[in-house]
Amino acid sequence: MDMEKIIKYWILIIIGLLTGSCNKGFLEIPPYGQVSEHTLANKIGVEKLLIGAYSTLDEFASNDGMYLNNYTNPDDARAGSNAGVNADYDCFGLAANAGIPSSRWSEQYLFILRANTVLEILPKVTDVSDQERKQIEAQARFIRGFHYLKAAMLWRNVPWIDETINYGSRNYLVPNDQDIYPKIEADFEFAADNLPETWSEVGRANKWAAKSFLAKTYMFQKKFTEAKVLLDDIILRGRTSNNLKYDLLPKYRDNFRTATKHGAEAVFAVQNSTYDGSGGANGNIMYFQNGTYGGPGNNGFGWYQPTFDLVDAFQTDASTGLPLIDTYHLSPIPSDYGLTASQPFTPYAGTLDPRLDWSVGRRGIPYLDWGVNPGASWVRNQATGGPYVAIKHTAEKASVSTDREGTNRTNVPHNHIRFADVLLWAAECEVEVGSLDKAQEYVNRVRARAANPQGFVFRYNTDGSVSNTPAANYKVGEYPAGEFVAGGKSFARKAVRFERRLELAMEYHRYFDLMRYDGNDFDVAQHHNQFMQREGQRMATLFPGNPYLTGRFTKNKNELWPIPVQQIVRSIGADGVSVLKQNPGFEQ
């Protein structure tokens, strides 16, 4: 099961299971296509089905599905397009009949179907041991839990379709009126209890990955006590599937390099494949929109442009190196917005967190090993998208011939959970139900890695080699002893949440984090509406009609995506009433 060499002809066999998904509702997909149970109900067949289920963890099934992550980072990056800001997604103008939620819903259940197919076939397989059977079931349930968690994060109110629901039994009209979080928990609990700690194939989920996703499931329900128990254990004893004790890598950038993608920080990362001889353009399709538009080797389509607000957030206090949590937006960083590449520009000289230049491509700063970013010529649409480009998941020039294949697909790691995630979740739990000092310890552990001078971005020498001179005025400090206690729970909560933004910038967590923060002393609607006004004003010179200035996050509506109207219509029962109920605020 080398996850870096997924055998495509088996995937094609499995497609028979998925035929018709583009033209029918997900509840009407027959469980089997042209592949007989006899062919699949054996050790080899079920293992190939399992590989096909693993392949869904890149979350790509069509172009619409590929855009999902780009549309869920409103204050980190713009979804963008040739026409500019995407008002539907960046500015919360999403309608119940919008195309991408509908496509994503279908794709989400296609992914779930692959896991369910493994679980349906498995009882009929006779040539596996009891231990192998449990481990196959645990992997399939891990994958199913993974996809249902994403569905709950987007829509919350979704029907639970398991391996007992099928077209032949005509039992597929399942309502979405039940809380599915307990079932997601059960899948991850089973996986944690039955998966081994290590595998010979690094791409398989292990027991610690399952525990980490269970902790994530708790975090989205604000079950901080339950999550803390798990996270304490993961921090103390957790190991990667290739038997490395979980830890932060010394250099931040190494989390996003192909050469170091199997390191101690990879709690669970999708393994991507390029140049494996299986035909076609392989690799990590989810990140093909990252990078520059006209820049280094056409490194990406550049549709995922960082916001002014994100860049401003990386400012630090000149004396302490601490973040400007409450005031960063009051001193915006000068940019080359509106300047051509030939017009002079001097990069910001104030103190910055170095994680900025591993997350965002800025003019005048080295862009990995591709050269100094020249500005506008590498930006897809400066007037409507801003002056910045993505960098975090870009292939390096030195290894591009092996790391990037076809249409900008790479084998750069797709980190679903890093150990930094775990530490910062644990810090959140300590704030809510534990010790503020312990929360500060976890945050400082993350900040200490960011402060490592060996992990800075460095300027080039005149001969093109890398110098020992930092590319910007980097300064990162740790919170002094007792700072969280002195500031109280409200301050500690803000500090932890701000650290997550800096550490996980452009990694597709921001939208979901903001939604789960809502409550206590944080109002997600107020946050988004204030952000849109600030961002719109920054763009007003070149893009006076930008929708940020008129965008509006509506409380008790925009926290969730709408249930696709098409799916509601397709789920009408004999009584003429759909079993699917629309999410609040989107009813017609």
Q: Quick one: three-class SS letters along 211-255?
A: HHHHHHHHHCCCCHHHHHHHHHHHHHHCECCCCCECCCCCCHHHH
* Distance from C-alpha of 281 to C-alpha of 403, rounded to nearest angstrom: 12
Calpha distance 588→583 (Å, rounded): 11
Of 457, 492, 517, which residue constitutes the final position of a domain?
A: 517
Q: How many domains does the chain have?
A: 2
Q: Are 367 and 260 in the same domain?
A: yes
* CB of 160 closer than 8 Å to CB of 174: yes
**pLDDT above 70 coverage of the chain, percent:** 87
In a domain, 202, yes or no: no
The stretch 317-337 carries a mean pLDDT of 97
Looking at residue 346, what is its pLDDT? Answer: 94
pLDDT given for residue 9 in this prediction: 36
Q: Give domain status of residue 532, yes or no.
A: no
Residues 302 and 242 in one domain: yes
**Are residues 369 and 492 located together in one domain of the fold?**
yes
Which of these three, 517, 550, 577, is where a domain ends?
517
Distance CA 512, CA 432 (A): 19
Q: Are residues 285 and 400 in the same domain?
A: yes
User: Is 379 within 8 Å of 385 (Cβ atoms)?
Assistant: yes
Copy the structure tokens of residue 103: 């496509």
Rg (CA), the chain: 24
Range of the domain at 495: 216-517
End-to-end CA distance of the chain: 48
| Residue where a domain stops, chosen among 517, 545, 570 | 517
Confidence of residue 120 (pLDDT cuts 50, 70, 90): very high
Instruction: Specify whether 511 is located in the same domain as 450.
Output: yes
Under the banding of pLDDT at 50, 70 and 90, the label for residue 545 is confident
Residues 478 and 570 grouped into a single domain:
no
- Place 7 in a pLDDT band, splitting at 50, 70 and 90: very low
CATH number at residue 337: 1.25.40.390
Distance separating alpha carbons of residues 141 and 286, to the nearest angstrom: 23
Residue 485 belongs to a domain: yes
The torsion region of residue 398 among left (phi > 0), alpha (psi -120 to 50) and beta comes to alpha
Do residues 97 and 235 share a domain? no
Say which residues have a Cβ less than 8 Å from residue 12's Cβ, sequence separation at least 6: none
453 in the same domain as 373:
yes
The Cα 103–Cα 21 span in angstroms is 10
Contact (CB, 8 A) for 414 and 262: no
Query: How high is the pLDDT of residue 31?
Result: 47
**413 in a structural domain:** yes
Query: Looking at the structure, do residues 227 and 177 belong to the same domain, yes or no?
Result: no
Q: How many angstroms separate the Cα of 244 from the Cα of each of 138, 265, 283, 309, 571?
A: 21, 9, 25, 36, 47
Segment 143-161 mean pLDDT: 97
pLDDT digits (tens, 9 = 90+) for 182-233: 999 999 999 999 999 999 999 999 999 999 999 999 999 999 999 999 999 9
Rounded mean pLDDT, 245-252:
98
3-state secondary structure 159-170: CCCCCCCCCCCC
Instruction: Give the pLDDT confidence of 414-431 residue by residue, as tens digits.
Output: 789 999 999 999 999 999
All residues at 6 or more sequence positions from 51 whose CB lies less than 8 Å from its CB, including other chains: 1, 6, 7, 10, 11
> Measured in whole angstroms, how far is the alpha carbon of residue 23 from the centre of its chain?
28
Q: What pairs with residue 572 in β-bridges? A: 578
Query: pLDDT tens across 298-321, in order?
Result: 556 677 889 999 999 999 999 999
In a domain, 527, yes or no: no
In a domain, 546, yes or no: no
Assess if residue 285 is contained within a domain: yes
Q: 511 and 572, same structural domain?
A: no
DSSP codes joined into one string, 332-372: PPP--TT--TTS------S-B-TTHHHHEE-TTSB-TTS-B
pLDDT in tens, 257-300: 988 988 999 999 887 777 777 665 566 665 555 678 777 755 56
Instruction: Provide the CATH number for the domain around residue 586.
Output: 1.25.40.890
Q: What is the DSSP string of 457-476?
A: -EEEPTTS-EEEEESS-B--
Q: Does 44 reside within a domain?
A: yes
Same domain, 162 and 222: no
Higher pLDDT, 5 or 388: 388
Q: Is residue 312 located within the same domain as residue 238?
A: yes
| Cβ pair 274, 410 in contact under 8 A | yes
- Under a CB-based contact definition with an 8 Å cutoff, are residues 247 and 423 in contact? no
Count of helix runs (H) and strand runs (E) in the chain: 20, 10
Beta bridge partners of 361: 389
Once rounded to an integer, what is the mean pLDDT over residues 79-85? 61
